[in-house]
Amino acid sequence: MLIRVIASALLCFAFTPAALADYSASRTWFRSLDQDDRLVLQFSLMFTDNYVALADGLFGRRTYEALINFQTRHGLPKDGVLSPSERDTLISEAAALWTLTGFRFVDDAAAGLTLGVPTALLHPAGSTSRGSRWESSNGTVELETVSIPVNETAYTDLYDRLTTEKTTRHVSYSTIKPSFFIVSGMTHGKIFYTRFQRGRFETRGFSLAWTPDVDAVFSPLAIAISNSLSVGGARVTSSSPQETPARPVTSPSITPNAPEPHEGFGSGFFVDENHIVTAGHVVEDCGAIEIVGYGKASLLRTDATNDLAVLESLGRSGTPAKLRRGPVRLGEEIVALGYPLTIAMADTLTVTGGNVNALSGLGGDSRILRISAPIQPGNSGGPLVDRNGNIVGLVTSKLDELRTLEIAGTLPQNVNFALKASLIDNFLASAGIEPEYASGTSEPASIADVAEIAKPFTVQLHCRPE
């Protein structure tokens, strides 16, 4: 079979004292990886039918169980730590399945979203009044995207409708969050999985239905498609870690990991007087969060797929930034601000200029800007602004120089990445936060003047264990 049935051992894994020791070692190893490597590992585990959870880059019991399950299947020592050769085996298996299924990210203008589609298994079947359809060659598997105006059917009303039991429809799993909901079960003899994201004007999502005889293939694919879903560039994720009950194979669900506290520093910026946006990994597993110079903060919401988080200041208020709604141009001059290398540079704000080198990230990721402005650890979550001081992105990561040297034989020069402002806007909308917007553009200011504009809304964040 293309993908084996999900092992029931994943649902009843027993933690022995030895396993607890392995769990700690596995967690330490996993956290030593950068965010991109963590996501690649989780998605590879998901695609190879080892992991039934969110690809969020966080370590928790489900990630540990998935690593153990992979090692068990391959007769490897079951310690939750993958050697370089074991990682290569996992990623190669996932890449082979990715190629075999023809999994591709498809921009569906009809429904206003992007999602992964197994194009080798499903083929376009035309448009509907609300989106698009794909189906298998024998018609037993159907994938449909849907966009429903909220003035026609409200978000919660749609959830109520889809969770209503009928003679031909049984719901075996459902969950609703402020920004998205999931419903799965059986309908007309087919297994179905539905996921919708809440928007200001529309509720958008997809529904996948398949016959039980191909469940071993499409149950994992439903989870992969759900992880890939992007509405206006903002992929949907859960807002808080929690466990979900064991599920039957016919009812796939996605569960975030359960993180544990750690310590670190990063950057962020005020989007109104009381709320700060930062990169999700900056506040990952924090026991307590401090906005340096402002006081404590509480974590309101995260978007793990897009690596975003919004905080509420519990201390004094700040000066809000202004988001730019217009598109960023290739080659445009930009400025990155943040608090890098905290140990060496303490609380010194760093300002660096550069250009937009590409309008997409690795693999053509349309959510990302590639920038030449130098960044360092601690810059993550900081603002990327135009030469008028308006937000055009959020600094997220840099290309791993040593790994690139190993693969390509050369060191990359200033290859860094930022999340586009449109994703920040969508994320804030899902949290009910209205940022300020730039009214227009003027003559480009000097970097020194831009620094004066951006300094009041740029903050340093301290993630504490407790």
Burial (CB count <10 Å: 0-12, 13-18, 19+), residue 265: buried
Rounded CA gap, 182 and 163, in Å?
10
Q: How many residues does the chain have?
A: 466
Average confidence (pLDDT) over 187-200: 92
Residue 61: CA count within 13 A, CB half-sphere = 14
Instruction: Say yes or no to pLDDT of 8 above 80.
Output: no
Q: What pLDDT sits at residue 178?
A: 79
- Residue 83's identity, in one-letter code, is S
The more confidently predicted of residues 360 and 351 is 351
Percent of the chain exceeding pLDDT 90 equals: 41
Residue 108: how many other CB atoms lie within 10 Å: 18
Confidence of residue 49 (pLDDT cuts 50, 70, 90): confident
Instruction: Say yes or no to pLDDT of 447 above 90.
Output: yes
Average confidence (pLDDT) over 401-409: 38
Instruction: Report residue 161 as tokens.
Output: 């409708």
Q: How confident is the model over 109-141, as pLDDT tens digits? A: 899 999 999 999 999 999 898 999 999 998 899
Q: What pLDDT sits at residue 205?
A: 95
Instruction: Say yes or no to pLDDT of 227 above 80.
Output: yes
Q: Is residue 49 within 8 Å of residue 2, measured between CB atoms?
A: no
Q: What pLDDT sits at residue 265?
A: 84
DSSP summary character for residue 262 = B
> What is the distance, to the nearest Å, from the Cα of residue 123 to the centroid of all Cα atoms in its chain?
27
Q: What pLDDT sits at residue 256?
A: 44
Q: Is residue 394 within 8 Å of residue 382, measured between CB atoms?
A: yes
Instruction: Report residue 345 as tokens.
Output: 């540079």
Q: Is residue 431 within 8 Å of residue 333, measured between CB atoms?
A: no
Average confidence (pLDDT) over 374-382: 81
Instruction: Say yes or no to pLDDT of 318 above 90.
Output: yes
Give, for 118, the enclosing helix (H) or strand (E): strand 113-118
Task: Share the mean pLDDT of the chain.
Answer: 81
- How would DSSP label each residue in 373-441? S---TT-TT-EEE-TTS-EEEEEEEE--HHHHHHHHSS--SS-EEEEEHHHHHHHHHHTT---EE----
Instruction: Say yes or no to pLDDT of 216 above 90.
Output: no
Rounded CA gap, 116 and 224, in Å?
7
Rg value, the chain, Cα: 22
Tokens 């969050």 found at: 177
The more confidently predicted of residues 334 and 464 is 334
Rounded CA gap, 157 and 212, in Å?
29
Rounded CA gap, 287 and 304, in Å?
18
Instruction: List CB contacts of 133: < 8 A, sequence separation 6 or more.
Output: 124, 125, 126, 127, 142, 143, 144, 145
Rounded CA gap, 73 and 141, in Å?
29
Instruction: Say yes or no to pLDDT of 316 above 70.
Output: yes
- How would DSSP label each residue in 134-195? EE-TTS--EEEEEEEETTTS-HHHHHHHHT--BTTEEEEEEEE-SSEEEEEEEETTEEEEEE
Confidence of residue 82 (pLDDT cuts 50, 70, 90): very high
Burial (CB count <10 Å: 0-12, 13-18, 19+), residue 17: exposed
Question: What secondary structure, in 3-state letters, does 191-252 show?
Answer: EEEEEEEECCCEEEEEEEEECHHHHHHHHHHHHHHHHHCEECCEECCCCCCCCCCCCCCCCC
Instruction: Say yes or no to pLDDT of 91 above 90.
Output: no
Residue 406: how many other CB atoms lie within 10 Å: 9
Average confidence (pLDDT) over 152-169: 91
Query: Nearest 5 degrees, angle CA 303-CA 309-CA 312?
Result: 140
Q: Which of 191-200, 335-344, 439-448, 454-463 has the lowest mean pLDDT?
A: 335-344
Confidence of residue 415 (pLDDT cuts 50, 70, 90): low
Instruction: Say yes or no to pLDDT of 46 above 90.
Output: no
The values of phi and psi at residue 202, to 5°, are: -135, 155
Q: Which of 19-23, 63-67, 413-417 has the highest mean pLDDT?
A: 63-67
Percent of the chain exceeding pLDDT 70 equals: 82
Query: Nearest 5 degrees, angle CA 215-CA 190-CA 155?
Result: 105
3-state SS assignment for residue 4: coil
Q: What pLDDT sits at residue 238?
A: 33
Instruction: Report residue 287 as tokens.
Output: 């026991």
Confidence of residue 341 (pLDDT cuts 50, 70, 90): low
Reference 9, options 17, 57, 19, 1; nearest CA is: 19
Confidence of residue 386 (pLDDT cuts 50, 70, 90): very high
Rounded CA gap, 300 and 323, in Å?
20
Confidence of residue 306 (pLDDT cuts 50, 70, 90): confident
Helices first, then strands: H and E counts in the chain: 10, 25
Average confidence (pLDDT) over 94-112: 87
Confidence of residue 235 (pLDDT cuts 50, 70, 90): very low
Average confidence (pLDDT) over 247-254: 37
Confidence of residue 373 (pLDDT cuts 50, 70, 90): confident
Average confidence (pLDDT) over 426-447: 87
